[in-house]
Amino acid sequence: MITVLARKDGAALVIRDQALGIFTGKGFTPVDFKPELAMKLAARLNYTPVVPPLRMDEPELARFLASPDWV
């Protein structure tokens, strides 16, 4: 299960298996940031916060990122 914290144009800041990372159509890439710093960086990069955070599986997340209307 993946928790989505923020999204932008086919990418999302997520938590998967207790690891913070970026999820794109190519998969999950872990990042070495604390969640608070990652959210500040996401805001600076114009990611849209997902409030409350959504929990979903990878196929559902891929559809979520492909749909600009699904918030």
pLDDT in tens, 3-35: 999 999 889 999 999 899 999 989 999 999 888
Q: What is the 8-class DSSP label of residue 33?
A: S
Domain annotation covers residue 10: yes
Kindly indicate the confidence band of residue 39, based on its pLDDT and cuts at 50, 70 and 90: confident
- Tokens for 59? 């196929």
State percent of the chain over pLDDT 90: 56
- Tokens for 18? 């207790």
Domain annotation covers residue 62: yes
pLDDT for residue 69: 65
> Exposed/middle/buried for 28, CB within 10 Å: 0-12, 13-18, 19+?
middle
**pTM check: above 0.95:** no
Domain annotation covers residue 7: yes
CA atoms of 26 and 11, how far apart (whole Å): 10
- Angle, vertex CA 57, rays to CA 71 and CA 39, nearest 5: 55
Range of the domain at 15: 2-66
Domain count along the chain:
1
Domain annotation covers residue 18: yes
Domain annotation covers residue 71: no
